[in-house]
Structure 1
Amino acid sequence: MATVSEFVIQRIRQWGVTRVFGFPGDGVGELDGMLGKTSRAGDGVDYIRPTHEEICALMATAHAKFTGEIGVCIATSSPGAFHMLNGLYDAKSDNVPVVAIVGQQGLASFGTFVQQEDNLERVFADVACYVQTIVSPEQAQAVVDTAFRTAKARLQPAVIVLPHDVQAMKAVEPPVEHWVSRSSAVAPSTAVVPPLEEVRRAADVINAGEKVTFLVGAGARGATDEVLEAARKAGAGIITALRGKDVVPSDVPFHTQQVGLLGTLPSLHQIDRCDTLVILGSNYPYGEYLPKTGQARAVQVDLKPEQLGLRYPTEVNLWGDVRATLTAMLPMLEQKEDLSWQRGIADEMHDWEQEMERQAMLDFPDGGNPRRVFHELNRRLPENAIVTCDAGTTADWYGHHIRLRRGMKGDLSGRLASMLAAMPYATAAKFAYPERTVICTIGDGAFQMLGMNELITVKKYLSRWGATKTFVVVVMHNDDLAQVSWEMRTEDGNPVWEGSQDVESVDYAGFAELLGFQGIRTTEDDEVADAVERALGFNGVTVIDARVTRNAPPLPPKISAEYRNNTAKAFLKGDPLGAAAMVDSAEGLVAEGVERVKGALHVGDKRG
C-alpha cells in the first residue's frame, strides 16, 4: 500500500506537474525518499536541486511565469521553509500560481519547542492564499487538491505542510464519512468573461475616445493577437508594463515600451495626452505616471478583482481573463477612421529609438557605457530567445534597450523587485525550454548574493540541456550597488556612502572558467559587440564580465525639478563620486532635453 508521500507525488502529477525544485532535509526526508524511488521507477517527477531553498522558490515562480503551469518547490521544515519565503513573496507580488510543500516535525511535537518545530501555518499565513497542515492520511487528498486549485484560481502561492510522521503513514482512500472531504484533481477554468452588458459599456467608452492608450501587463499573456486587433480598431497606442514587455512585439510601431523611470518619452507623452486609458492585465504601481484625475476615461480588465480600479479611477471594471474578454469585446469595437493619434505615437517612437542608440554610443571617461552592453545584446538576440533581468540599474537598461520580438520571452521579479532573481529565472527558463537561447542580465551585487552559486547548478545539469546549450550570463561589473547609489542622490539628496554601496571586485569570467565555462572580459565599449557575438555563437555557458562605469545615470525620460535638485544637493554634500557622476550625468541630461523637444514637436505640442 502506498504511503502519504507516494500519494502526494502521484497527485501532483495528476495536476500536470512534471518538474519540482527542491532542497532536502530530515523534516521532509520520507517525501524526499519517495521522490527518489518514484523517479528511479520512471513514474515520478523531475527533481531539480539548486544550491539554496530561496532559489527553489524563485525557480518555481519563474517556471510558472514562463510556462503558465503551476510551479512547485519543496523544502524541509523551519530553516528550509523560511529560506523559501522570499521566492514565495515574489510569486505573491506578481500574481503567480506556486505550491510549496514543506516538511514539519512529527505531530506530537507541535507546540513543544523541539528542534526545527515552528508554527509554519502562522509563518506562511501572509504570503499564501492557502496554507494547511496534513494531519491524517484521510485529509491528504483534499489538502493537496485545494492547494493547487486555489493557487491556480487566485494566482497566488499556496503552502502544504507535511509532518514527518504523516509522510510515512499508509495512504487511504477518503471514506464516505462525516468530516471527510473527497476532492478532484481538476483545475478551475480561468477563462472568465464578464457579463456582456458590462463588456458593451467598456466598448462604448473606448469607441468614444479620440486618443486611446492601452496599458498592457503580464496578465495579458496569451492575448497578444487580441490586444493588437483591439488596438488597431481603436486607433490606440500601446504601453507595456515591464513584466508585460513580451506580450506586445517590439516591432509594432505604436508600441512605445514602458512608462516611468525606466520607460520612454513617447510613453510619457501618451499618458500625458490620452483621453482614454485601457488597463489590460496590469497592476502598474506608479500612480504619478498615470493620467491626471479626470483627464481620461478608463477601463480595466483583470483576473484579480481586488486590483480593479486600484491605481486610477476607472469607469468600467471588468473582472475577467484578458483574452476571453477582448474576444467578446472585439465585435463591439468600432474601427477608427482617424488614426493620426496612433501614427503620431509611431513616429515619435521611431525617433526615440534613434535617441536610445545615441545614448548607448556615448563615451564615459571612467569605464564602459552600460547601455552599450544592452544595445549590442539587443541587436543580436536570436529568435525565440529568453531574457531575464535583475533588479537595479539592470532593469533600467533592460527597459530602455531590450526589444522582444514575437516568440521571445522576458521576465523579472516585478513588484517585489528582489535582487538575484535573474539567475534562478534564467536557469528555470532553460529547464523549461532547453532548445532556446537563454540570457541572464544581472548586476555584480546581485550576482554575488546567490547568483554565482547558481553557476554550480548550471554545471550540475548542463548535460541535460540537449543539443542547444547556449546560456549567457551578462554581469554588469561596476563594483557598486548602483541603483541604490542613484536613489540616495535623487530621492533623498544624500551623497553615496561607499561603506554600504561598494561591491568587492571579483573576476567573474575567471570564476566561470574555474567551472569549465567560457569567460569573456570587456573593459572598453568597442569590445562589447564581439563579446556578445562570441557568447551567442558558443554552444555552452558563457559569462560576460562587462566592466562598466558606476556613474552612468539611470535617467528617467523626463527629469523633474526634484530629481535635479536632490542630485545637486548630494554632490554639494561631498559625494565621493560626484565629479565623475556629474560629467556622466551631463551628457544624458542634454540628450534628454533635446529628445523632449523633438517628441513635443511630433505630436504638435507647442509647450515644449
Structure 2
Amino acid sequence: MAERSVADLVVQRLLAWRVPRVFGYPGEAIAPLVEALERAGGDPAFIPARHEETASFMATGHAKFTGGIGVCLATQGPSAVQLLNGLYDAKLDSKPVVAIVGEDISGPLGGAHQEIGLSRLFADVCNQFVRYGRSPQDVPGLLDQAFRTAAATRSPTCVVLPRQLQEALVPDLHANAVGVISATPGEPLARVLPHEVDLEAAAQLLGSGQRTAILVGQGGRGAAAEIVELADRLGAGVATSLLGKPVLDERLPFHTGVLGEVGTPAAAELMGGCDTLLLVGTNDPWTDYLPMPGQARIVQIDIDGRRIGTRYPADVPLVGDAAETLRALLARVPDRPNPQWRATVENSVDRWRADAADRAAAPAEPINPQLVLQELSSRLPGVGAVAVDVGSVLYWYARHLSLPPGVNAQLCGTLGSMGCALPYAVAAKLAAPDQPVIALVGDGAMQLNGLAELITVSHHWQQWRDPRLVVLVLNNRDQNGMGGGRQPSNDPTRRRPDVPYAGWARLLGMHGVRVDRPELVGAAWDEALAADRPCVLEAVVDPAVSLAPPDPAFADLRGLYADGAAARKVREQTERTVAAQDVV
C-alpha cells in the first residue's frame, strides 16, 4: 500500500473540509506542509503573504466575507507570534479560523533556535482549542476537532505540528483503525430557537411598545427581510452597529445609520427617544449610545447565550438564530405601527442626510475626505465587497458610504487593528474573482503593511475574471493617525512621510490615480473603477476636518413632535394610513 507523509494527510483533511486556500508565510518548521500544498496543484491553494500578520488577517477576512472557515499557517517562534493580531481579530469578531503552526523539536529541550512555548502563546486567543500533534494516527481527528470547534464556537483554534511529524511516512489510515479518531467534516450545526414561553413574552413586550427601535449587528446577516417586516409592523426605526452596517439597505427611509462614536446623530436620537428596543445579533461596545437606564424595555436575540445582557440588561433574552427567531416573532407580534413615531424617525433621518451632504460639500485644503466617500457612494457597484481599515476612514465610511444590498463590507470591528483592509480585500477577491473589491485605507495603514501587500495583489490579479481591486488611500500625512480636527503640524518630523502611493502601484504594473482637487474626485473614481487592472486611488485630504462624533443618546426624539416639519410629516403619514384603512 502506497505511503504518504503526514503533511499530505493534512492537505487531504483540508480538502475534506472544503478549504479553498491557505494563507501563510513559509518557514523551515512548516516547510513539509507548504511542499505538500504545492504538490496538491492548487487545491487547496497556498497564498503566501508578505508577513504572517497579514496572512492571519487574510484568513479572518476569508471567514468574514465567505462565512467559511479561514486557515493560516506559520512556522515557530517570531513567525507564530505574528499570527496573533489576525487571530485576535477573529476571536473578538466571532469568526472561525484554524491556525496550523510548525515546530522544530530536534534541538535540546528548552534550547532550540526560535523556540517559544506555543501552547502558552496561543492559550488565550485560541482558548477553545490548542493541541499538539503527537503521532500520525492523531492528525486527521485532531484537525477535525480543530475545525469543528472553530465552527461551533465561532472562534480561532490552533494545531501545532512538529516538522518531524509532518515528514513522517504513514500507511493509509482507515476510519475504524485502532487509535484513529475520525469524524465527518462539515457536520451542520444544530438549529437554535428560543423557548416558546420566551417568544411569547418577547412578542407581548414588543407589541406593547409605543416608540420601538431595532439595533442590528452582524448577527442579523441573512435576516434583512424579517427585520424590515418586523420594523414595519411595529412602526420602528432601525439603527445598526458598525459590523451590522451591511445587513440592511441603508436607503430605507427609517434607517438611521450606524450607532456609536463613528455613527450618525439620527441613530443617537433614535436611542434617546425609544421606549422599547430590540437588539438583533449585536455585541456593540458603544454602550454610551444605548438608551438611558430604565428608559426602555429590551428584547435581545443572539445565537450565543453568553452575550445576552453583557452590554445592556435584557428584559427578555432570546437565544437563537436571528432569522428563525424573527420569523417566530412575526407569527406572534401584532400589527400595531405607530405612524407618529415612524414619521418622527424618518424626519430625523432626512435631517441627517441633508447635514451629511453639507458636511461633504464643505471646503477643505485640499480635499474634504467626506467628499471622497460621498462620491464613491453613488458609484459603488451593485455587487462585490468593501474592506475598511481603522482610522479616520472608518468614520467617513460609517456616515457617508451607503451600501446597496448586494455589497458585503467587513472591518476589524472589535479589535480595531490597523492594517486589516488590504489583506481582507485580497481574501475577498480570491474568494470571488469575478466581482469588484474596494479597500478603504488611510496612509498610516498603507505604510504599515499595505504597500507590501500590493506585491501580493500584483502577483495574482491577472488570474481574476474581473481585475478591479481599487485601493483608496486617504493621504492626510497625519502622524497622530486619526486626523479629525487637529491642525497639521509645521514640524516635518511630526508629519507622516508623503509616499507616492499611486506611483508605487504603477511600478508594480497596476494603475494609479492621484487626486488633489475636489472637483476631480468623481472623475478619479470613474477612472479607478473603469481600469483594466487593480488601481490605487490616492486622495490628498485635509487632516483638519473634524470627526465630530454625535452626542450620546440624550437627544430625545420625543421632543421633536412639536417641530413644525415633523408635525406636518406626522399628519401627512397619519392621513395616508387612515385613507388606506378606509380603502380596505
Q: What TM-score, normalized by structure 1, do the two folds share? A: 0.87
What displacement does 1:498 show? 6.5
Letter in 1 for 2:452: N
Distance 1:462 1:197, change over 3 A: same
- What is the SS of the residue equivalent to 1:329? helix
Provide the residue aligned with 1:151 in structure 2: 150
Provide the residue aligned with 1:315 in structure 2: 315
Distance 1:597 1:73, change over 3 A: same
Provide the residue aligned with 1:117 in structure 2: 115
Q: For the residues of structure 2 that align with 1:6 and 1:64, how far apart are their CA atoms?
A: 24
Letter in 2 for 1:549: D
Provide the residue aligned with 1:184 in structure 2: 184
What displacement does 1:495 show? 11
1:56 lines up with 2:65 in the alignment: no
Q: For the residues of structure 2 that align with 1:600 and 1:122, how far apart are their CA atoms?
A: 60
What displacement does 1:599 show? 11
What displacement does 1:233 show? 1.7
Distance 1:189 1:499, change over 3 A: farther
Distance 1:182 1:469, change over 3 A: closer
Provide the residue aligned with 2:76 in structure 1: 77
What displacement does 1:313 show? 0.9
Provide the residue aligned with 1:15 in structure 2: 17
Matches within 5 A, 1:21-170: 21-39=23-41, 44-106=43-105, 109=107, 111-128=109-126, 129-170=128-169
What displacement does 1:381 show? 0.7
Letter in 2 for 1:23: Y
Distance 1:170 1:361, change over 3 A: same
What displacement does 1:174 show? 6.7
Provide the residue aligned with 1:369 in structure 2: 368
Given that 1:482 and 1:550 are in contact with CA atoms closer than 8 Å, whether structure 2 keeps it comes out as no
- What is the SS of the residue equivalent to 1:545? strand
Q: For the residues of structure 1 that align with 2:560 and 2:513, how far apart are their CA atoms?
A: 40
Letter in 1 for 2:37: L
Q: For the residues of structure 2 that align with 1:599 and 1:420, how far apart are their CA atoms?
A: 47
Q: For the residues of structure 1 that align with 2:326 and 2:260, how far apart are their CA atoms?
A: 26
What displacement does 1:327 show? 2.1
- What is the SS of the residue equivalent to 1:479? coil
Distance 1:47 1:125, change over 3 A: same
* Structure 2: tracts of 5 or more residues without a match: 568-584
Cα RMSD over matched residues? 2.6
Distance 1:90 1:211, change over 3 A: same
Which of 530, 534, 543 is matched with 1:537 structurally?
530
Provide the residue aligned with 1:476 in structure 2: 474
Deviations 1:217-259 (A, max 9, x none): 1111111112222222222111111111110111221111111
Given that 1:121 and 1:131 are in contact with CA atoms closer than 8 Å, whether structure 2 keeps it comes out as yes
- What is the SS of the residue equivalent to 1:292? coil
Shifted more, 202-211 versus 407-416: the winner is 202-211
- What is the SS of the residue equivalent to 2:251? coil
* Structure 1: tracts of 5 or more residues without a match: 562-591
Matches within 5 A, 1:431-470: 431-466=430-465, 468-470=466-468
What displacement does 1:502 show? 2.5
Matched pairs, number: 561
Provide the residue aligned with 2:198 in structure 1: 198
Distance 1:292 1:178, change over 3 A: farther
What displacement does 1:484 show? 4.3
Q: For the residues of structure 2 that align with 1:482 and 1:508, how far apart are their CA atoms?
A: 19
Letter in 2 for 1:26: E
Distance 1:7 1:559, change over 3 A: closer
Distance 1:191 1:45, change over 3 A: same
Distance 1:598 1:404, change over 3 A: farther
- What is the SS of the residue equivalent to 2:313? coil
What displacement does 1:202 show? 1.6
Letter in 1 for 2:427: A
Q: For the residues of structure 1 that align with 2:516 and 2:282, how far apart are their CA atoms?
A: 39
Provide the residue aligned with 1:511 in structure 2: 504
Shifted more, 44-53 versus 149-158: the winner is 44-53
Q: For the residues of structure 2 that align with 1:415 and 1:449, how far apart are their CA atoms?
A: 19
Distance 1:500 1:145, change over 3 A: farther
Letter in 1 for 2:120: R
Q: For the residues of structure 1 that align with 2:152 and 2:367, how far apart are their CA atoms?
A: 46
Q: What TM-score, normalized by structure 2, do the two folds share? A: 0.91
Given that 1:110 and 1:117 are in contact with CA atoms closer than 8 Å, whether structure 2 keeps it comes out as no
What displacement does 1:556 show? 1.3
Provide the residue aligned with 2:335 in structure 1: 335
Q: For the residues of structure 2 that align with 1:213 and 1:497, how far apart are their CA atoms?
A: 47
What displacement does 1:267 show? 0.7
Deviations 1:89-143 (A, max 9, x none): 111111101111111113x558422012221111001001211111111211221
What displacement does 1:531 show? 0.3
Shifted more, 296-305 versus 63-72: the winner is 296-305
1:523 lines up with 2:516 in the alignment: yes
Provide the residue aligned with 1:579 in structure 2: none
Provide the residue aligned with 2:575 in structure 1: none
Distance 1:296 1:598, change over 3 A: closer
Letter in 2 for 1:349: V
Deviations 1:404-443 (A, max 9, x none): 1111111111011110111111111111111111111111
- What is the SS of the residue equivalent to 1:91? helix
Provide the residue aligned with 1:584 in structure 2: none
Matches within 5 A, 1:301-450: 301-364=301-364, 366-450=365-449
Provide the residue aligned with 2:573 in structure 1: none
- What is the SS of the residue equivalent to 2:457? helix
Distance 1:152 1:325, change over 3 A: same
What displacement does 1:528 show? 0.5
Deviations 1:58-114 (A, max 9, x none): 0111111111001111111222211111010111111101111111113x5584220
Distance 1:521 1:182, change over 3 A: closer
